[in-house]
Structure 1
Amino acid sequence: MTTWISHRGYTKNATENTAKAFEDAIELGFDHLETDLRTTRDGHIVLCHDPELSRISAQTTTVNQLTRKELEAIKLIKGEPLLFFDEFIERYSHLNWILDIKPDSAEQTIRQLEHWMRDPKAEALLTNRARFLMWHPDHEVQVQRTIDNAFCLARDKACVRAGLSALVGAAALGVKAEQVYAIPPKLGGLPLLGAGLVKRYHKQNAKVIGYLPETLVEHEQALKAGVDELLTNHAHLMRDLSTKRG
């Protein structure tokens, strides 16, 4: 059974990484959410993908230049406020998460997560509910020292190495056991995700995330290939494909 993961929530009627986007994804049946973590000027963790706010609001300021109070006053393009990590934890403690810790503020973000570890409830959530996507090996080491048993997904370069080795039939050289790798639906415009490729990862006791398919055909391709997880911007397709398969 493939686990579906909502990438920044469902954004048809909501701005990404907001409570509305996540609630809409949950309503469609998702129980696994992916989001992005950055740190404000005064040390609060906020859910935001880009370093600046221009894509999701009328503001052009960078997130780390503003305080939480200043960010709370900003309305995003569809009228919602930004969501902060303490709010995210409170709302979605019953779900599973992928936390993408952005590299330009990763050290500060991890230090703030360390404060959360002092709360037994938050510690349990970060240990049992969260997996982490890091973009630099030093940050991966930092988060694993901070959070016991922190699981970090394979970084981008590791995914490329694993993919190349699997494609040429030498998966043992690049695919590590117990790791989770992202594979896009296409490479150079050609279909990439296939059952044979995924089986090479599984033979090494690794797992595969189908990474951001865009079309219905690409989603079906990933499911047919046998991916373990599917990270998608198109949350409604989970319902549509489940109905179709049923």
Structure 2
Amino acid sequence: MARSLEWMKLTAAEVQAAAAEDALLIVPVASLEQHGPALVTGTDIILGGNVALETARKLVAAGHPALVTPVVWHGLAEHHMAFGGTVTLDSATFQAVLRHVVKSAARHGFKRVFLMNGHGGNAEAIGTAATDLAVEFGIRVGGGTYWHMVPKAIAPLLEDQPGLMHACEAETSMVWHLLPEGVRPDRLPEAHGPSSSRAPGQPPGLLMRRSFKEITPTGVVGDARRASRAKGAALLDAIATKCAELLANPAIWGKA
């Protein structure tokens, strides 16, 4: 029987064997937060965990050992708190959680860790963590938000959006594919909002978080009305395929 790719489904000895094989350890990081009227609060957990696992499957199929931890389900979500249904950490606690997960992995012999982010509010903090933890533990630590890593894999599959947003066409489609009961189809007509979470004239390089209540009355950025289960399956496969291709690059891990 093939060994599971999920840390929590292995014995301690099996986890140690994966570390000895120089498996890439993928740590999905997410958030529990509002996702508008039609999508469940666990959206980022569902998607982050499944993108990480599907990426690991594709890595292993190509001959690259990989392992996935359970999802770090709590993130930086202060900007969603006004809608309710949200749990947030402060920055210091978030960094401490990531530090101790990676520290544990390093103590067990893992030399390569990737923090795979599935929540926009975590993006900058993930980059900081990857840099600091690599220095502290003397291992390779990378980090990235999956839709920022592979935008060209996502855009061609969407009809009304240039990329993945929030509770939008992309996220709703993928949840519908992975957990059909996570979508409320009768509320989809309401599930749309502005096309950006930035203020008019705010460029990508100017960082400023605002409450989503100031941005969108529905809690949605983008438009979920064109979501479908078929689109969700295609998105998951395309995202994982490209993520696996990127993470298999030996140059990233200092092996080229």
- Calculate the TM-score normalised by the size of structure 1: 0.30
Q: Which of the two has greater strand per residue?
A: 1
Q: Which of the two has greater helix per residue?
A: 2
- Calculate the TM-score normalised by the size of structure 2: 0.29
Structure possessing the higher relative contact order (Cα contacts under 8 Å, 6 or more residues apart): 2
